[in-house]
A and B are shown apart, each in its own frame.
Chain A
């Protein structure tokens, strides 16, 4: 059967930034070069700012270390995590682009079942540029993909879908398991390529992994705060989870869609499960409180912008989760600080506040 001619996916090279948190090196970019070279990179260097992170030749980038973060945000820098990949959200804040793709430095190009290398960025763009269908489940998954459509019984009035705010990709090889699961199944690898993109239905939460994630910054950026993790904090490895629960609640409220599935990347590094267990320990208990909280959150109708929704969420976090642990009071305050910083940096005046960062043009 001849494939109908498919329009090429727009590159969006002037509308998309790639945000990469790193503490070690960016060697992995060599493998991504064919797919990433046209794009501007925002590197967020975690850890020791005196260390120099080498960026492979030929990439157009800006790089921020902890000193830059402190200088740019001043006292508000307290909301950005240290010694945790959660610091990546600083990159979201300083970006000026419409879309963001964020990827971890231990994620490589995966191959699809035919052996072809997967351009993960292109798939994220496809996901973000086509609608989502959160209000009714399509059993053939994404109806906008070539070779698929809405099934019989799918209401026609819902077939326009809604705008897609988030594209959540997956991982082959090392799966994103929590520490207890890693300890029980240290050898399990994800070898199953599931050829699907689907919309996570409205009203349903999910664990959002930050390793391979695309989103429309102009739509949902202010909600992509990765919380207080790492150094000096009682919790780690829940940064993307926290962002995901907030993002999903707000997307549901504002009528935006969240997709999950393709693209796959190849996750190469298995982190140490004992280290992870220490980081996750509090999270395992606290999420039992946090999940029911997010499942029952209701945002008032007058929360018509992401920022308003987020501030309202922070109030409810303080009110309802503050009693679980004082950490949540701190987190709620940090959520407000984040929004204040976001608004400052992203207002018309804010664009001139940002100091020029180190970086080589192509």
Chain B
């Protein structure tokens, strides 16, 4: 059960939504109890032709293709589809960002109450992470829990948490082959835990429900890996997975923590996994090349800022993965471009 975080003010938080759907009325109304206190940044997918429909009563800034073109100019970065949200990360001036896909609605916890994902994400980000030693009772900072016997005292201060990865009930974030094989497979298990993903352990970062400390790791979440057949369903993308691997390496290097678990969102049906199988296959193949690379990637000790880490990762990507598939060469370019953009546009805060 999350508790309200009294140290963080509402105006330190931005909610960023990439709109791949033009009619956001029911989405926004569903989230009104949670979102109405906060400033929202909605970025319209440049491919979307229809006008966005957004209900009244929100403090929201909308960005469209025009804004993106004006601010970004010519760049190797493409902000189409799911990648449009990163533009929101770029222009935000807040410390904390919470971002979810526009096909999610609030979940209910085990008591039947609406899950306040913002409160939980902010709690995750403002309590320490413990990446160097696994606590078997999960997050020791949660009410009713603590470090267990045998947990070294010198590690109990933890480190700052930079990234909070939430989960999904109903339609989980499975890839197309898995969902196509098991069309009835729905996630109905509410796991009441938050845990730190240990240092040097890699994980697939799902962009469906995330939050991060923009001041700490903003530059490390970027749109770079674009599949040739990338589409408008999560099954047809890998951009968040790619960005997440880089972000985890950067967090490990800089000594920040990454948490996974609560909060849950409820994810609704969209699309057909079997149809997506054609496009998804490319992403699945690429992951095989990517994992060994990231597992052995080590950054220079002298690289101490997140944006410099990204540039260094990009260099390694170009050198070691560029020859494997041109998509990686393009990703490396986009990462460098992103940092340039970040330095020019994104690095100031309010």
Contacts and interface: CB of A to CB of B under 8 A. Distances in A.
B186 A1 contact: yes
Contact of B152 (A1, A150, A200, A287): A287
Interface string A155-184: 111100000000010100001111001000
A201 interface: yes
A193 interface: yes
Contact of B149 (A152, A154, A207): A207
Interface residues of B, number: 61
A214 B181 CA distance: 33
A187 to B, nearest CB: 11
B301 interface: no
A152 B175 contact: yes
Contact of A288 (B149, B152, B203, B288): B152
Interface stretch (B4-12, B82-90, B133-141, B212-220): B133-141
Interface string A252-295: 00000000100000000000000000001000100110010001
B184 interface: yes
Most buried by B among A175, A188, A194, A208: A194
Given A1-B184, A175-B146, A209-B136, A151 B284 contact: no
B323 to A, nearest CB: 20
Interface string A139-150: 111000001111
Contacts of B190: 195
Given A155-B288, A190-B144, A205-B133, A113 B206 contact: no
Contacts of B150: 178, 207-209, 238, 240-241, 244, 287
A150 B177 CA distance: 11
B134 A177 contact: no
A144 B234 CA distance: 23
B136 A260 contact: yes
Chain B at the A interface: SS class: loop
A113 B137 contact: no
Interface in B72-122: 110
A50 interface: no
Nearest to A260: B136
A124 interface: no
Interface string A118-155: 00000000000000000111111100000111111111
A150 B172 CA distance: 10
Given A153-B241, A207-B148, A241-B149, A190 B137 contact: yes
Given A148-B187, A151-B174, A192-B144, 16 more contacts: A136-B204, A140-B187, A150-B175, A150-B178, A152-B175, A157-B288, A175-B137, A176-B136, A178-B148, A190-B144, A192-B145, A200-B134, A206-B133, A207-B149, A207-B150, A240-B150
Interface of A: 1, 113, 135-141, 147-158, 168, 170, 175-178, 181, 185, 188-196, 200-209, 237-238, 240-241, 244, 260, 280, 284, 287-288, 291, 295
